[in-house]
């Protein structure tokens, strides 16, 4: 198994429960390496009741929306409780077919043979960054959201945040409230939903609504949007052409509140090139910035597989079901399904399915 984040840990626990031996390798120095290195203020968008791995709840007193630290503590306790063995500092460079099995080659040159491969690599280790002309002339700093940790070093600086997904919204609003001069570039807009409806996380409500026919979902969500508009006024961010059912929305009003309060400037154009001191936009205007922060999302981390698999429009490997490779036998994916229920909810569903399928092929339970 490749990757010792929540997907890899959950799959290891499920394999172990079925008596299936495994090797779980992690490129970082510790399990949960990706979560260890995300920004300090990160909290889950999903409530703790729907953010568990198979077989274990959170510790008493955990926040309704667990912080990064609380989630890391949960992962460590999960690994200890399930006696999960993680081999750290082992970056997989290539994966190749060898007969009826696989050979994974590590950065160290070591090779590991296996009858099955589980890609539990997720997306955060593969940030997407647009290639804009003129970057070499820009005298400021360019970084991706995955590199951001805390606002201290950006106080008083002119920061352009490119992208209005959940990372961009959270980081942009945090920087603005800390004293940075923030502009957020938005190309097509975003659907914005509250993080919770009363005391209930919006995710729980969306999970229940998601069981209804699409038309019924659209009617309910339209009524909620109308009610939010009556309460909070017209949307600050333009609404995109696609339905809120077709993409993960911006969760929470942190960025919207900063824009309304005048702490964040909204730029309804995309950056098209760097200048010496800033950025030129698609509307022909230019502006000076000290920092350009790319909150431009992530792509599935599949590089070790090379050309062994074909991918869809979003970069995910083609599958014959939720977890099974459509191109290669004995190749599985956990942590590669993302929807309104949350990534961890999908891991809780997919890890047992993969473990059961591998156990069945081995003739074990």
Looking only at the bridges linking them, the beta strands covering 111-114 and 264-267 are: unpaired
Decide: 70 and 58 in contact? Cβ < 8 Å: yes
pLDDT tens sequence for the chain (365 residues): 999 999 999 999 999 999 999 999 999 999 999 999 999 999 998 999 999 999 999 999 999 999 999 999 999 999 999 999 999 999 999 999 998 899 999 999 999 999 999 999 999 989 999 999 999 999 999 999 999 999 999 999 999 999 989 999 999 999 999 999 999 999 888 888 888 888 888 888 888 888 899 999 889 888 888 887 888 788 888 888 888 888 888 888 999 999 999 999 999 999 999 999 999 999 999 999 999 999 999 999 999 999 999 999 999 999 999 999 999 999 999 999 988 888 999 999 999 999 999 999 986 54
How far is the C-alpha of 137 from the C-alpha of 198, rounded, in Å? 49
Task: Give the torsion sign (CA, 124, 125, 126, 127).
Answer: positive
Block residue for tokens 């400021």: 140
The radius of gyration computed from the CA coordinates of the chain, to the nearest angstrom, equals 22
Strands (E), 57-151: 92-98, 101-106, 111-114, 117-119, 141-144
Q: Which segments of the chain does DSSP mark as H helices, in order?
A: 6-17, 33-36, 68-81, 166-178, 202-209, 214-232, 254-260, 343-362
Burial call 126-143: b when 16+ CB within 10 Å, e when fewer:
bbeeeebeeeeebebebe
pTM: 0.92
Decide: 160 and 291 in contact? Cβ < 8 Å: yes
Residue 238: per-residue pLDDT:
85
Sheet with 101-106, edge to edge strand ranges: 92-98, 101-106, 111-114
Q: What does DSSP assign to residue 318?
A: P
What are the structural domains of the chain?
A: 6-126+298-362 (3.50.50.60), 135-294 (3.50.50.60)
How far is the C-alpha of 181 from the C-alpha of 178, rounded, in Å? 9
């Amino acid at each position: 198994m490749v990757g010792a984040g929540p997907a890899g840990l959950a799959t290891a626990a499920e394999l172990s429960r079925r008596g299936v031996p495994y090797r779980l390798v992690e490129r970082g120095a510790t399990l949960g390496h990706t979560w260890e290195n995300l920004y300090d203020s990160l909290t889950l968008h999903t409530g703790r009741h729907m953010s568990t791995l198979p077989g274990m709840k959170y510790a008493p007193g955990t926040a309704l929306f667990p912080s990064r630290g609380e989630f890391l503590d949960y992962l460590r306790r999960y690994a200890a409780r399930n006696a999960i063995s993680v081999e750290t500092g082992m970056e997989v460079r290539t994966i190749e077919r060898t007969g009826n099995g696989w050979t994974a080659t590590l950065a160290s040159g070591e090779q590991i043979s296996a009858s099955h491969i589980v890609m539990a690599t997720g997306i955060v280790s593969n940030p997407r960054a647009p290639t804009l002309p003129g970057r070499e002339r820009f005298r400021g700093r360019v970084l991706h959201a995955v590199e951001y940790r805390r606002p201290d070093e950006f106080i008083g600086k002119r920061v352009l945040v490119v992208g209005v997904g959940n990372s961009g919204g959270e980081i942009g609003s945090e920087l603005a409230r800390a004293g940075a001069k923030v502009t957020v570039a938005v190309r097509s807009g975003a659907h914005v939903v509250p993080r919770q409806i009363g005391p209930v996380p919006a995710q729980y409500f969306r999970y229940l609504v998601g069981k209804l026919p699409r038309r019924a979902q659209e009617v309910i969500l339209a009524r909620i949007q109308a009610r939010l508009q009556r309460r909070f006024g017209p949307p600050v961010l333009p609404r995109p052409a696609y339905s809120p059912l077709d993409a993960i929305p911006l969760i929470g009003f942190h960025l919207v509140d900063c824009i309304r309060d005048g702490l964040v400037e909204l730029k309804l154009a995309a950056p098209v090139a760097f200048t010496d001191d800033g950025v030129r936009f698609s509307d022909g205007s230019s502006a000076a910035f000290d920092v350009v922060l790319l909150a431009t999302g992530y792509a599935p981390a599949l590089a070790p597989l090379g050309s062994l698999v074909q991918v869809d429009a979003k970069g995910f490997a083609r599958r014959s079901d939720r977890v099974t490779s459509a191109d290669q036998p004995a190749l599985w994916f956990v942590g590669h399904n993302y929807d309104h229920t949350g990534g961890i909810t999908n891991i809780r569903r997919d890890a047992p399915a993969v473990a059961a399928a591998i156990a069945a092929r081995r003739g074990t339970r």
